[in-house]
Amino acid sequence: MAENKRMMRNLNEGSVGKVLVSFAMPLFLSNLLQAVYNIVDMVVAGQVLGSSGMSGVSIGGDVLHLLTFIAMGFSGAGQVVISQYVGAGLRDKIKKTIGTLFTFLFLVSVGLMLLTFIFRNQLLAFLKTPDESYQAAMDYTMVCASGLVFIYGYNVVSAILRGMGDSRRPFVFISIAAILNTILDILFVKYMGMGTMGAALATVIGQAVSFIASLIYLYKNKEQFGFDFRFSSFRIDAEVFRPLFKLGIPMTIQSAAVMFSKLFVVRWVNSFGVNYSAMTGAANKIKMAMMLGSNAFMTAASTMMGQAIGAENYDRVKKIFWTATTIISSIGVVLGSLIFLFPDVAVGLFTQDPAVLSLAHVWAPIILVDAVGMILRAPSFALINGSGNSRLNLMVALFDGIIARLSFAYVLGFTMGLGCFGVWLGDALAGFVPGLIGYPYFFSGRWRTREHLLGKMK
């Protein structure tokens, strides 16, 4: 536990900019490798299988993202809960939170895997999967769904480590997954001709090895983390499940709302044909790559704010917020401008299909809108999540994930007749919502109370 105390002290007492960067850099590298992990499937499928392969991986990937919404919500909540317990020095509750998180998300992953197998045809039909890419999407979806437990498990271990202030080990574990996935992708798809099933199998194997490695690390250092791995320790504890549930439900709804609304966006895009589907898949990966840095600083800032609030060091929260805003703004301006100026280069990484490349310049202005949304969104989410404000999280989820995205995309795309460009634009404009809620929340100062999550627990 000594290392955890040292990390906590560094997060709470060091220079904000220096600590934020030092904590965010391993997260950035982890996110970079996670992006490589996700993008490699699309690149290999596009270069080897063409637009139908790209479309299949894109649609299957969207289904997979939908299946991870509970993992993202509750692991994010677990990270915040653990960071605040660390800040408050409540070691016993950290142990109970770890066991509860493991068991709850394991059960959820098994349940979602079974539901996916049962409703696989209905899912792809709802998404209006083009005939040319239907089988490719089905193969990718089914293989990835079979490995859902590994994806959930990795998210749990990463949340535990990051909540305690350790962002370096998750980087090591995702490195293993990314390298293995890249090698197996090329082997399975290009040389063994396994199609999108091979791409999905490479993803599952990489994630499984990464999870097992992270679990071994956690077990070998169980005294440091205060978790003994006894069977009884995996019992879902009602006391610690309450704050997990209180924050996890709105964070899960937030993830689910965004992902469900994006499925409608995918459905509308797919209605324009396989080339638009392939272009959207490439665009989503490019946007994900652009947001690597902002997501890293958002996660780092959220953990630092959570520990600062847990220690009632409110002035430090303000410094973290503005430092994160400055850094994320710089990232957004530079990367957004480069992608806007050279969209054909970015899309060309995925495919050389002229029909898809011709859409790159049509899509290019959207990335500037995404960049502004990123600048507004990341610091806001860092504060909302770090403070554990479940009600505000739920508000953001409903407005960002459902009301704004669906209404903007439909009105611009169909009511105003802008077609697929309007759907893309509406999706991007929805990213402004968290900032429009988060910045007023910051200036109000209402985040100072710890009763959002922990209450009077000391």
For residue range 197-209, what is the model confidence (pLDDT) as tens digits?
999 999 899 889 9
Cα-only R_g, the chain: 21
Report CA-CA distances (Å) from 424 to 63, 279, 292, 420.
19, 11, 20, 6
pLDDT range class, residue 14, cuts 50, 70, 90 = low
From CA 438, how far away is CA 428, in angstroms rounded?
Answer: 17
pLDDT for 166 equals: 74
pLDDT for 455 equals: 47
**Which stretch of 125-129, 157-161, 200-204 has the lowest confidence by average pLDDT?**
157-161
pLDDT range class, residue 249, cuts 50, 70, 90 = confident
pLDDT range class, residue 457, cuts 50, 70, 90 = very low
pLDDT range class, residue 456, cuts 50, 70, 90 = very low
Taking the complete model, does pTM exceed 0.95, yes or no?
no
From CA 84, how far away is CA 11, in angstroms rounded?
Answer: 12
**Which stretch of 198-207, 239-248, 355-364 has the lowest confidence by average pLDDT?**
239-248
Give 110-120 pLDDT, tens digit per residue.
Answer: 999 999 999 99
State percent of the chain over pLDDT 90: 32
pLDDT range class, residue 167, cuts 50, 70, 90 = low
pLDDT for 7 equals: 46
Residue 417 pLDDT exceeds 90: yes
The residue-averaged pLDDT of 406-425 equals 94
Q: Where is mean pLDDT largest: 80-94, 216-230, 420-434?
A: 420-434
From CA 412, how far away is CA 421, in angstroms rounded?
Answer: 8
Q: Evaluate the CA torsion angle 249, 332, 341, 285 in order and state its sign.
A: negative
- Looking at per-residue pLDDT, the higher value among 48 and 165 belongs to 48
From CA 160, how far away is CA 86, in angstroms rounded?
Answer: 11
Report CA-CA distances (Å) from 319 to 282, 308, 325, 449.
36, 11, 10, 17
Determine the residue type at 135.
Q
pLDDT range class, residue 38, cuts 50, 70, 90 = low
Helix (H) or strand (E) holding 172: helix 168-185
- Looking at per-residue pLDDT, the higher value among 86 and 110 belongs to 110
pLDDT range class, residue 3, cuts 50, 70, 90 = very low
pLDDT range class, residue 34, cuts 50, 70, 90 = low
Q: Write out the two tokens for 342.
A: 């050279």
The burial class, CB within 10 Å (0-12 / 13-18 / 19+), for 106 is middle
What is the 8-class DSSP label of residue 305? Answer: H
pLDDT range class, residue 1, cuts 50, 70, 90 = very low
Whether residue 73 contacts residue 217, with contact meaning beta carbons closer than 8 Å, is answered with: no
Whether residue 332 contacts residue 372, with contact meaning beta carbons closer than 8 Å, is answered with: yes
Whether residue 293 contacts residue 28, with contact meaning beta carbons closer than 8 Å, is answered with: yes
From CA 42, how far away is CA 350, in angstroms rounded?
Answer: 7
Give 290-327 pLDDT, tens digit per residue.
Answer: 888 888 888 888 878 887 887 778 888 899 999 999 99
pLDDT for 37 equals: 64
pLDDT for 423 equals: 95
- Looking at per-residue pLDDT, the higher value among 419 and 313 belongs to 419
Cα torsion through 142, 146, 148, 149, rounded to 10: 170
Q: Where are the domains of the chain?
A: 2-452
The residue-averaged pLDDT of 249-267 equals 79
Whether residue 400 contacts residue 431, with contact meaning beta carbons closer than 8 Å, is answered with: yes
pLDDT for 112 equals: 92
Q: What residues contact residue 125 under an 8 Å CB cut-off, 6+ apart?
A: none
